[in-house]
Amino acid sequence: MSDAMRPDTKAEPFLPGASVVLRSLQTFGERGEAVAFAVAGRVLVDDDDLAVVASPLGSAVRRRAGVGSGPNGRLVLPEDWDGDYLDDVWSGAPVVRVHQKGQPWSVWRWHDGSDWLPDWYINLELPWCRTHIGFDSQDCTLDVIASTGPDGAWSVRYKDEDELAFYVKTGHVSKEKRTSIERAGGDATAAALARAFPFDADWSQWEPSPAWATVRVPEGWSEVL
């Protein structure tokens, strides 16, 4: 897993409403760099400071095919990936992802059609880079969940620490990389507890519309240049 992402390959921002694909890139042994996961979405904001992308229900998802392993049985190690992808769709509830440019995470929220759900999901990943078909990043396995309880109390916890530990044990993540990921997790936790942006933002401006059509992945979505 690399620590560095390439710079933007598309200089012009996407217009609101544009269909894109969000991709997590990883290095897979002899296969080299490839798409580990992809999900289609609709651009709500894309400027010098911020990217906001929504995935309506039914939008296309692509996952690596292969035997799962690890603590949850869902980690497909590089040597277990057969090179193919499973066709899937986004389910549950529409999700909106907010990424501040240059930050090593994005903040996700789900909307059930009436209101935002209480959990805030902080996906630790390398900063997004804009491509001609969407945005590329690299998922860092460890995530942070911030929740608002019935009494309004704010709590923050980690998610998937066991999966990150498994990657370290198998040698797919170095101890140095783990330290870097955990540092980003600490920074994300501090941002959530301080109610920094985007936790203090007016999310009504990004509320998904039930009228939005599902989004497909574009042609060439699996190509890495």
The pLDDT tens digits of the residues spanning 114-150 come to 999 989 999 999 999 999 999 999 999 999 999 987 7
Q: Is the dihedral of CA 219, 137, 3, 165 positive or negative?
A: negative
Q: Is the pLDDT of residue 51 over 50?
A: yes
pLDDT at residue 153 in the model: 81
**Residue 50 has what DSSP assignment?**
E
Residue 75's pLDDT band, with cuts at 50, 70 and 90, is: confident
Burial class from Cβ neighbours inside 10 Å (0-12, 13-18, 19+) for residue 4 reads: exposed
Weakest-pLDDT range from 44-58, 147-161, 186-200: 147-161
Please, what is the Cα angle at 105 between 104 and 111, to 5 degrees? Answer: 165
The set of residues, in sequence order, having a beta carbon less than 8 Å from that of 22 and lying 6+ positions away, is 38, 39, 40, 41, 53, 97, 128, 134, 135, 136, 137
pLDDT at residue 4 in the model: 64
pLDDT at residue 1 in the model: 41
CA gap 62, 217 in Å, rounded: 9
Residue 85, strand partner residues: 64
CA gap 96, 175 in Å, rounded: 32
Beta strands in the chain (DSSP E): 19-27, 33-46, 50-55, 60-66, 81-89, 95-100, 105-110, 119-125, 129-130, 134-137, 139-148, 154-159
pTM (two decimals): 0.94
CA gap 156, 190 in Å, rounded: 9
**Residue 161 has what DSSP assignment?**
H
Residue 3's pLDDT band, with cuts at 50, 70 and 90, is: low
Q: Is the dihedral of CA 101, 8, 143, 51 positive or negative?
A: positive
CA gap 105, 124 in Å, rounded: 4
CA gap 31, 70 in Å, rounded: 21
Q: Quick one: CATH architecture of 19-201?
A: Beta Barrel (2.40)
Percent of residues, the chain, with pLDDT higher than 90:
82
Question: For residues 24 and 151, which has the higher predicted lDDT (pLDDT)?
Answer: 24
Residue 152's pLDDT band, with cuts at 50, 70 and 90, is: confident
Upper half-sphere CA count for residue 197 (Cβ side, 13 Å) = 9
Mean pLDDT value across the chain: 93
